[in-house]
Amino acid sequence: MHIAILAGDGIGPEIMAEAEKLLAALHLPALKLSHANIGGTAYHAEGHPLPPDTLQLAKECDAILFGAVGDPTCDSLERNLRPEQAILGLRKELGLFANLRPAAVFPGLESASTLKPEIAREIDVMIVRELTGDVYFGEPRGRRETGGGRREGFDTMLYDEDEVARIAHVAFRTARARRGKLCSVDKANVLETSVLWREVMAEIAPEYPDVELAHMYVDNAAMQLVRNPGQFDTIVTGNLFGDILSDQASMCVGSIGLLASASLGEGRKGLYEPIHGSAPDIAGQEIANPVAMLLSVAMMLRYSFDMAQQANRIEAAVAKTLNDGIFGSDMCGSASTREIGDAVIARL
């Protein structure tokens, strides 16, 4: 089990330290951890947010644990040197096109949600976000001046049918293993990309007769997520809409510090990261919530190493920790990053 540890920027190193403690506590056989720079940290140390040695390690290892990237001191750099390019580059280079973002309320923690407890209680959704296409990667993109000397910025929203089909298959299989309901989210009333997306989803649906497919516009989906999130089982959507809806889903659960994600390609290799960012405003204070990072370890064990039992252990320990009232300031508690990590390990 060769795992690349890419802690990155801001709170990344603090939450990654807890992930490493957790891995040690599990006593996994043949575990090898390799550390490398990524993001703003890598830019400052090596001149590039995704240095060649880091990319090489990411290609060689079996799985990647990723903290966060984002560094305000890099804000004025040209785009290809900005920390965010590191995660986008890794996703693209490794072909990690399928991003699984589960959002479920922890029993007993309904009050942490910004929704009414009786509504929050019902949340158990898996967001399947396409991760290597869409307006994130579409060309052309850039800036130009119009005839009148005015500045203009432009991006290209683009999906080809093969990209839609391969994420569709992941989503249908995911829904099949859950409650058999798949909601495809698009903006087909306005966007050509979405019309194609919807068409391809419908074409593939007959291959999964046991899954019920529905379509929803993204504006309605955003509204339904706070009105009645319990109606969703599995959501499949494009890169941009998935980015936005998964942040929204995290607050419905209680905190953005709680949601983990798995980024997968065709094989077993995956990149596992919290859905939150580097949170520079709280970095170094030991108050970051490590739960999303710890749950990312669980997802790694489940998806890359077939160790569902170990994953369940971690998830149960996290649930117990939260249920025992041990959480940090993001959820109106007072536990530090380290205390939360220790509490989870004690409950394994």
Which residues of the chain form contacts with ligand IPM (CB under 6 A)?
84, 87-88, 243, 275, 277
DSSP-derived secondary structure for 245-297: HHHHHHHHHT-GGG-EEEEE-SSS-EEEEESS---GGGTTTT----HHHHHHH
Nearer to ligand IPM, 85 or 194 (CB): 85
Tell me how far, at minimum, the Cβ of 88 lies from ligand IPM, in Å. 6
Q: Which of 136, 208, 272, 303 is catalytic?
A: 136
148-183: b or e for each residue (b if 16 or more CB lie within 10 Å)? eeeeeeeeebbbeeebbebbbebbbebbeebeebbb
Nearer to ligand IPM, 87 or 326 (CB): 87
Residues 6+ apart with CB under 8 A from 17: 7, 337, 338, 341
Q: Which of 53, 160, 219, 306 is catalytic?
A: 219
Nearer to Mg ion, 8 or 341 (CB): 8
Q: Which residue is nearest to ligand IPM (CB)?
A: 84
Q: Which stretch binds Mg ion (CB under 5 A): 203-211, 240-248, 320-328, 337-345?
A: 240-248
Tell me how far, at minimum, the Cβ of 250 lies from ligand IPM, in Å. 10
Tell me how far, at minimum, the Cβ of 70 lies from ligand IPM, in Å. 6
Nearer to ligand IPM, 238 or 341 (CB): 238
Tell me how far, at minimum, the Cβ of 276 lies from Mg ion, in Å. 8
Q: CA quadruple 236, 237, 243, 248: dihedral positive or negative?
A: negative
Measured CA to CA in angstroms, residue 106 lies from 39, 128, 132, 225, 250 at distances of: 32, 20, 30, 17, 12
Tell me how far, at minimum, the Cβ of 261 lies from ligand IPM, in Å. 7
Q: Which of 9, 186, 187, 233 is catalytic?
A: 187
The residue written with tokens 């001149």 in the block is 47
243 binds Mg ion (CB under 5 A): yes
Nearer to ligand IPM, 271 or 322 (CB): 271
d(CA 96, CA 40): 22
Nearer to Mg ion, 172 or 241 (CB): 241
273 binds Mg ion (CB under 5 A): no
- Structure-block tokens of residue 1: 């089990």
Q: Is 342 noted as a catalytic residue in this protein? A: no
Q: Is 187 noted as a catalytic residue in this protein? A: yes
Q: Is 208 noted as a catalytic residue in this protein? A: no
d(CA 118, CA 110): 8
- Structure-block tokens of residue 318: 């996290």
Tell me how far, at minimum, the Cβ of 278 lies from ligand IPM, in Å. 8
Interhelix angle 192-204/161-177, rounded to 10 degrees, is 50
Provide the pairing of β-strand 151-154 with 142-145: antiparallel
Residues 6+ apart with CB under 8 A from 142: 153, 154
Measured CA to CA in angstroms, residue 254 lies from 106, 258, 274 at distances of: 9, 8, 14
Q: Which residues are catalytic?
A: 136, 187, 219, 243, 247
Binding residues (CB under 5 A) for Mg ion: these are 243
